[in-house]
Amino acid sequence: MSAMFPPVLRQSLFATFALAAMAQTVAAGASGWDGDDKSGIRLIAGSNTTEAAGSVLRAGVEIRLATGWKTYWRYPGDSGVPPHFDFEKSDNVKSVNLSWPAPQRITDSEGVTIGYKDAVVFPLKIEPKDATKPVVLRVKLDYAVCEKLCIPAQGQAELTLKSGHAETNGVIAAAEKKVPHANPLGANTPFSIKAFRRDDSAKPARVLVDVASPGGAPVTLFAEGPASDWALPIPEETEGAPAGLQRFSFALDGMPPGKSADGANIKLTAVSGQDAIETTIRLD
């Protein structure tokens, strides 16, 4: 075959084939985008090994947002709609575990909301039914995007996950690092929720939370009730913290009708710089 093409042409053809192979490798690590000029979604793959039975595959759902637009966390704050992920139409998937990267507090004309700007990747861990066969991951995502007005959005994506290196593995790894890690109340770590107390003398009753951060770095705190029908206020920093700590306060308001806070488990998420922790407290 080499006699059919001059050396220069052969080199050009080989370069073309190499570039095509590289493009296929990159494409295998991500689905196409589904969206418009405001937002879009896609699936991306992490590097995976599927030889061992029961192995878990890594992937992610990525949302891109136009400048000035936002989307919401699992608890949106004063207003908004959290994203809803549906993986039911996937093939060879036993379970999908989705993690939520640390959000940011966003203050705008809507009030104070909790969510993401620019882009966000939700890491996934997928357990296949049969680890010896490919996994075809399909997601349908219903979410909201907001600038001055909020509009509903929907996207769908499909990606076959295989064993081997993925070009998007670094994106997945970076997103995984942004997921808050569990930290017990009073942990002896530089970044921790040290203590809380309930103040029933206030009307409505309030919860005071003391947080330590490295070098006193700024902290943002979020509070979630035990179920999605709870809508606790976003904690605000307040005075009276012990030396070296930051104190936050939130009212025991926004509970479902007839529900009491007594004995409720409240999940606190604290974010400082690139670090984030989760601590569950019980309101006895």
pLDDT in tens, 56-70: 999 999 999 999 999
pLDDT at residue 17 in the model? 38
Q: What percent helix, strand, coil does the chain show, rounded to 5?
A: 15, 45, 40
Query: Which amino acid would we find at residue 278?
Result: E
Neighbours of 144 (CB within 10 A): 19
pLDDT in tens, 96-136: 999 999 999 999 887 899 999 999 999 999 999 998 888 99
Paired tokens of 263: 């004995």
Whole-angstrom CA distances from 260 to 75, 197, 200, 253, 282 are 20, 17, 13, 10, 13
Say if CB 208 and CB 195 are below 8 A apart.
no
DSSP bridge pairs for 103: none
* Closest-CA residue to 204 (of 156, 255, 242): 255
* Closest-CA residue to 75 (of 182, 235, 259): 235
| Segments making up each domain of the chain, as ranges | 31-179, 182-283
Q: What is the DSSP letter of 239?
A: S
Say if CB 138 and CB 92 are below 8 A apart.
no
pLDDT at residue 199 in the model? 96
pLDDT at residue 111 in the model? 87
The number of angstroms, rounded, from the C-alpha of 263 to the middle of its chain's C-alpha atoms is 28
Structurally, at CATH architecture level, domain 182-283 sits in Sandwich (2.60)
Q: Where are any strands of DSSP class E within the chain?
A: 34-35, 39-45, 57-65, 70-77, 84-86, 93-98, 104-108, 111-117, 119-128, 135-146, 150-161, 181-182, 192-199, 206-212, 220-224, 236-238, 246-251, 264-272, 275-283
pLDDT at residue 165 in the model? 85
Average pLDDT, the chain: 90
31-179 and 182-283 agree in CATH topology: yes
Band the pLDDT of 50: cuts 50, 70, 90. Answer: low
Band the pLDDT of 13: cuts 50, 70, 90. Answer: very low
Say if CB 124 and CB 60 are below 8 A apart.
yes
pLDDT at residue 19 in the model? 38
The reply to whether CATH 1.10.287.1770 applies to domain 31-179 is no
Q: What is the DSSP letter of 255?
A: P
Phi, psi of 170 (to 5 degrees): -65, -35
Distance, CA of 193 to CA of 125 (rounded, Å): 28
Whole-model pTM: value is 0.87
For residues 138-157, average pLDDT: 96
Band the pLDDT of 6: cuts 50, 70, 90. Answer: low
Band the pLDDT of 49: cuts 50, 70, 90. Answer: low
